[in-house]
Each structure stands twice: as C-alpha cells, then as structure tokens.
Amino acid sequence: VPAVVPEALAAGLPVVATTCSVSMGDLLGQGRFGLLVPVRDAAALAAAMDRITSLPFDSAAARAQARRFTVEIAAQSYVVEMQRLAHG
C-alpha cells in the first residue's frame, strides 16, 4: 500500500493515482476521494490531474478514510486475521 495516499487523505487532499495496487480502489473509497487511471496511461493521468480540483471533495470524510489505515488499526487487523488462521 503506497503510504502517500493515506497521507494525502489525512491532509484533506484529493488523490490522482494509477491502478498500480489492488488496494488503490479501497484507499480512494472507490473514487470518492480521488481519481484512478490505468498504469502507463500518461494522457489519462494528465487529464485526471487537470480535473481533480473541479470535482466535489469532502476533506473531513477523506481524513476519516485515512484513519482506517493507521499502523495501530492495521496491526490489530493483522493480529485478528492471524488468530483466525491459526484456529481455523
């Protein structure tokens, strides 16, 4: 998971990113907090960068989204999953 995405959301900023990670859609709230473009599509990336500031954006909701990806929450999720796997 690219750390810069939750960092930008924590700062209340929208994100333009490529589909370089399977988690990117979830990080961006399926488009609620930014735009996703295909990898290696420079034209789509440029167009998204031009459009991003004209789209509706809720910075408070973006900050709440970023809190889902803190180290504390992620670590607890890993512990729960490992325990489930160990006992499952």
- What does the pLDDT look like over 33-52, one tens digit per residue? 999 999 999 999 999 999 99
The helix/strand/coil state of 45 is helix
> Which residue carries 């295909």 as its tokens?
38
Full domain range(s) for residue 64: 4-87
The helix/strand/coil state of 7 is helix
Q: How far apart are the C-alpha atoms of 56 and 41, rounded to whole Å? A: 24
Q: Quote the tokens at residue 20.
A: 């370089």
Q: Write down the pLDDT at residue 2.
A: 82
Q: Quote the tokens at residue 78.
A: 């890993």
Q: How many domains does the chain have?
A: 1
Residue 58's pLDDT band, with cuts at 50, 70 and 90, is: very high
pTM of the model: 0.81
Instruction: Name residue 85's amino acid.
Output: L
The helix/strand/coil state of 28 is coil
Residue 73's pLDDT band, with cuts at 50, 70 and 90, is: confident
Q: Write down the pLDDT at residue 14.
A: 98
* Separation of first and last alpha carbons in the chain: 27
